[in-house]
Chains A and B, each alone.
Chain A
Amino acid sequence: MDNHIAIKAENLEVSFFIQRSGINNFKDFILTMGLKSPFEQKKVLKGFNLSIKKGECLGILGRNGCGKSTLLRTIAGIMKPQSGVLEVNGNVAPLMALGAGLEPELTGIENIKLVGVLMGMSRDELKNSIDKIVDFSELSELEINMQVKRYSSGMMSKLAFSIAAATDPEILIIDEALAVGDLGFRRKCADRINEIKDAGSTILYVSHHIAEIKNICSRAIFLKDGQVFQEGSVDDICDLYEKELVKNK
């Protein structure tokens, strides 16, 4: 296997199993039993090909519903492909939805432990990085011991990003997660992302903010209907993205 490849997808097919309209409970299922299958497949990624080198920072652009999140989920191992080849070399830290796994009733510090373990940190790793996480999150002693349900959404994103960034991932996935937070923290996140990048990690970055993509990424792809429509330099793809959006208005 090529050592310089972080992620390689060949002819990847990923679909959703969704209920056929009209059958979404068990009662209807029983009533139509034997007459029709209650599920249909909705293909999201169709014959998807992509290869990402180690240390690359790839921006992913595309209209809503074109398969960006599904692609990221498949790479993160959350969704399984129906067919095709997917090679992922390295541990993946997904930052998919802001504050996923955070338990509102628990305090910040308890949440660090909870989400850290969910993300696959071992007991020792957690012990070693807990101070680092608190430090990075810029939350005060008082705030970190407060229930997360009393946090503002900015504070929540600080906590969430701090946990995900602490794992020193080989592949970091960011799905529109940095949209909130104050300017200072956003700059710090960008710095941390660059630090992760400089350490040789691969980054996949989904955003609708062209400026952010231009700032962070070294290459970009444009997704359309579950396939790579075009790939190229960040500037070219961003221009294409703007053109496509205007065209479809």
Chain B
Amino acid sequence: MNRSVARPRVVVDDLAAAVEPLRLARFRGEALVASALRLRAPSATSEGAIAIDADNGLADVDARLSLRAIGDALAARGWWLPLLRPWAAVPLWRLVMDAPFVVDALVQRGVLLSVDGDAVDAPRAPRHAAGPSMVHALCGPTPLSLVVRATLRVVPRTHAHLVVTDHGSVAAASAAFVAVTSAARAVAVDAFGTRVAVLAAEHAADAVDDGHSLPVERGAAWGTMPARARASVSIAPGDRAAIGRALLAGRRVVAVPFMQRAAVLQSRPSTTPRLVDVPAAAAALAAALTENKAVKKERP
């Protein structure tokens, strides 16, 4: 059994440089938790930190940057992330482990490393069908790979604008959230309390209007926004009851309609991911697949 080491103890320039300390830790019988790894982040404005591919609506970013830094730098260049702020200042490589929604919503592909330091090819093409999704190997309590650079979906500010509406009740807000998500035309949907924010092209933003909602000024809309999100639990995008429960509990519920993905945001993850070698990570995943509640429930 590996001992878990929680203290920050490995400080490196990049993930490739982290591989050796990870191996050494494993040699000592220690399993590093992800928070024990510290990477020196570049400035978001430094050369090569963010490269925008305007034709394809993509931004290639250094995964040591946080979403907040990436979002600010993109905004200065006239682009939006299809996720509304605020986000915690957690580096992207770390955020994707706890917030799989970020992978679903943003990460189209990337330069990945297996936890053992081998290059992983995450295809350059959209929506490939060549085996299991390697970008999803970034998520979970024992990720199989780490992201060095990520190609994120971005939206030109000229193509999308923000509409925030107050629906008077959580039930109405949940219904509006599901309606906008189901229509699959908005870039991003974000609900909190009785309010729903929609980032969409002008012709698509009206989908949030159910005839009873009131427009809200942008600043006022998010004045009561709670903690900065740094983890997510995915939910079915049409599950009005689950969305309503999350809103009643004071959580933010977000969706990317084009991917039909939705999630409840959390201010902290339920577990801290452990960085173990690839076979051990796969074994942990296999155990989780076998031991989860759904399987136990059906087991005679």
Task: Note whether A and B form a binding pair.
Answer: no
